[in-house]
Amino acid sequence: MRTLKISIYLLFTFLLLVSKNSLAQVFIPAGGIVYPFRASPAIVKTGTQFHILYNNKAQHQIDSIVLKGPYSRVLLKIDSVSKGRFEYDTYTTMYTNNKIWVTVPQGRPQDMYDLMVYAAGEVEISRRSVKLVKQFSPKHSFIHISDTHISRNWVGPADNGFAEELQLMDRFITVANIISPDLVIVTGDLIHDYTRFNKDARGWGGDTIKGYTKLPTIEEKYRNYFEGAKGYRGVQYINAPVFSVPGNHDFYGMNENDHPAKAAQWNALCGIRVSGLAYAGTRFMFIDDYLGDQVKDIPNKKPMSGLQGKTLQNFLDLNGPGQLRIMAQHRHDRADTGFLNQQKIGLIVNGHIHTPHVDTLGKTPTIRIRPGVVCRSGENHRWEQILGFFRIIRIDGGKFTYTEPLRFCSNPTDPYNKIKLNLTLTFKSNNAGLATSNVALIENKLPAELPGCRVRFVMKKGAYLVSGGRVFQQFNSGKLTIVDVDADVNAGTVKKVSINLKR
């Protein structure tokens, strides 16, 4: 793992924001790239521009910028590098000193990429932060999960252990990658504001810490959530961009009323806190209803009359209203119906309460849903009501549908190696580039139709024919040929997808 470099002025800004009474840790920001980064990735069409917010503390010349995927590498064209103050959070006033515009060449493979900025012999990496697509389809989908609470319970020594919740998360990622949504939204409580050691059989008891007198640090907590640990995968291993919003547990080491410190901690370690995404006719809006204060940032009454509402209004003014507007937030009970009615918000996805729920509010009306929790320690005693759940939301122009809460496995309270997934993908032959034919079996035990499940075949270099599915893309990578196939899988069925070398 590369050594994380300290961004001096960002750290100094954070320390100025922390009150004297806070139990503040001098933590290390995750790197120089602020956007796209961790909680706010980018979805970019090939042949178009996007911008990078970059902390270039020594103002080194930018040598090159590269997207690195599992089977492809894309050199980006640097169009401009602007120097100045580029504020990305109106509450904390955090900013970068470089804004870089780059262009993605046409025809590059559609995939999740690491963003790499090279300057003066050094490289900054924003892992799995850019998704390349060839078009924004009017028909698209996302998976909604919430309240993962990664690092609430800690397994092993404080300085060399891992978050227990990663065991369920890792198994869910396998299912999510088969479903292959266009994006994933996580509505808060990504991590936990305390760490529990030596938990009892129910996931409670033991010893808890909230400060920095013991490990793990806040960096390690977020590293578990995003990157995983000890062989268990974090959310960045989902083969889709994951947009994460803050919840009431997403801070560590300071008083819960020290709002500037909490929001700045998020900025330094997760990136942008409030943002929007324009995808085809859909306008996604990601807000923070916990870290900022209750007066300026997100007031108790009419929350969107504060700074966040202005940020979202600017986003809509810039990108247009689109056909469908969706808000993602943590709380279930803090909707600004005035804003919802004015902007005609069609859907709110939220979490906080761990049981699944659907209701409506406002004049549009706005559908408000939460999925339950896909992973969360300490909930084994009521797992049947809340645990192992996610939803799929499918969008077609200005309309959307959503599934009932789907349980990704049948037994979420069992040990990791005994978990039985309700959606599986198996290959008849080795799928590592050694074969010229293969068969994939997708078994769907979920009570839902799953159009567009993704199978990635890694084959010897050549031209291939596929049966049982639609070729999404095919490209060469050295001595390999990558063939991505979409297959529609009905509920309670097994789908067979075959691939063979053209003769």
The pair of three-digit structure tokens given for residue 401, joined into one six-digit string = 């549908």
Domain ranges of the chain: 31-133, 139-418, 423-501
Percent of the chain with pLDDT over 90: 89
Entry pTM: 0.94
Q: What local confidence, expressed as pLDDT, does residue 210 receive? A: 86
Superfamily of domain 139-418: Metallo-dependent phosphatases (3.60.21.10)
- Quick one: which of 157, 141, 488, 490 has its CA closest to 324? 141
Percent of the chain with pLDDT over 70: 94
Fold agreement between 139-418 and 423-501? no
The pair of three-digit structure tokens given for residue 20, joined into one six-digit string = 């004297």
CB atoms within 10 A of CB 364: 17
For CA atoms 370, 186, 286, 403, the dihedral sign is: negative
What does residue 14 show for φ and ψ, rounded to 5 degrees? -60, -45
Range 65-82 average pLDDT:
98
Burial class for 58, CB neighbours closer than 10 Å (0-12, 13-18, 19+): exposed
Residues 392-451: tens digit of each pLDDT:
999 999 999 999 999 999 999 999 999 999 999 999 999 999 999 999 999 999 999 999
CATH of domain 31-133: 2.60.40
Split at pLDDT 50, 70, 90, the class of 211 is confident
CB atoms within 10 A of CB 64: 12
Relative to beta strand 139-145, strand 122-133 is: unpaired
The pair of three-digit structure tokens given for residue 13, joined into one six-digit string = 């800004």
CB 118, CB 111: distance < 8 Å: no
CATH number 2.60.40.1180 is the correct assignment for the domain at 423-501: yes
Residue 17 has pLDDT above 60, yes or no: no
CB 130, CB 36: distance < 8 Å: yes
Q: What local confidence, expressed as pLDDT, does residue 43 receive? A: 98
Upstream peptide bond of 36 is cis (omega within 30 degrees of 0): yes
Mean confidence (pLDDT) of the chain: 93
Q: What separation in angstroms does the CA of 318 have from each of 75, 87, 276, 277, 314?
A: 28, 17, 10, 11, 6
Alpha helices in 218-289, H assignment, sequence order:
218-227, 259-270
CB 206, CB 197: distance < 8 Å: yes
